[in-house]
């Protein structure tokens, strides 16, 4: 039997993704690159729409579960939950440039920076709101879309929610 999903309705307890670099460096590690994610996730079983047998990814899931809650969700490098459960935040950024979308291009925006657990602490402003980052692996309800090659390139670094987790890597000694 699989564990019940974790639920945290208190959004103020969630760190902003733009704080992840500081949190992971406090542990003596760094964020993985897209290439490192593709390497350590290799061999992780993909998700299924109607089952959590291979990864915590069934489309009926309503939240994440405990890390390691699915026994088969292990990559060939023994990385647990590289696919499904929560996305891995990756250290890769890009700028969409001037485009017509939901935001005004080239405008100062402090609201996207001052978010998450430390929202009360002023952090400055982002001048261009079309900045995006990569996440990998998939989410708890993405079904067959979760897997070792699943990448989402539309993640905003200012996001503060429970869809993305933090995994650190270190260089070889």
Does some domain include residue 1? no
Does some domain include residue 92? yes
For 42, the token pair is: 């290799």
Does some domain include residue 6? no
Helix, strand and coil content of the chain, in percent to the nearest 5, comes to 15, 15, 70
Does some domain include residue 88? yes
CB neighbour list of residue 78: distance below 8 Å, 6 or more residues apart: none
Does some domain include residue 163? yes
| Residue, of 121 and 133, whose pLDDT is higher | 133
Does some domain include residue 37? yes
Q: pTM higher than 0.85 for the full model?
A: no
Distance of CA 18 to the CA centre of its chain: 11
Give 58's pLDDT tier (boundaries 50, 70, 90).
very high
What's the CA gap between 6 and 129, in Å, rounded?
Answer: 31
Does some domain include residue 7? no
Residue 138: left (phi > 0), alpha (psi -120 to 50), or beta?
left
Instruction: Tell me the per-residue pLDDT of 2-24, one tens digit each, with 9 for 90 and over.
Output: 444 444 444 446 777 778 888 89
| Residue, of 21 and 75, whose pLDDT is higher | 75
Query: What pLDDT does residue 32 have?
Result: 94
Q: Give the count of domains, the chain.
A: 1
For 144, the token pair is: 């067959």
The answer to whether 24 touches 30, Cβ cutoff 8 Å, is yes
CATH code where residue 125 lies: 3.90.1580.10
Q: Which domain holds residue 139?
A: 33-173
């Amino acid at each position: 039997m699989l564990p019940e999903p974790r639920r945290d309705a208190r959004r103020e307890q969630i760190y902003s993704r733009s704080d992840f670099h500081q949190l992971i460096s406090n542990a003596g590690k760094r964020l993985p690159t897209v290439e490192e994610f593709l390497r350590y996730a290799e061999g992780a079983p993909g998700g299924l729409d109607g089952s959590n047998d291979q990864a915590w990814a069934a489309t009926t899931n309503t939240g994440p579960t405990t890390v390691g809650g699915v026994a088969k969700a292990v990559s060939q490098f023994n990385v647990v939950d590289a696919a499904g459960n929560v996305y891995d935040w990756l250290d890769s950024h890009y700028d969409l440039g001037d485009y017509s979308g939901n935001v005004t291009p080239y405008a100062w925006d402090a609201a996207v920076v001052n978010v998450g657990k430390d929202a009360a602490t002023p952090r400055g402003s982002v001048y261009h709101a079309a900045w995006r980052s990569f996440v990998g692996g998939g989410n708890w309800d993405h079904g067959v879309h979760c897997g070792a090659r699943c990448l989402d390139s539309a993640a905003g670094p200012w996001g503060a929610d429970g869809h993305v987790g933090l995994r650190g890597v270190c260089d070889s000694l």
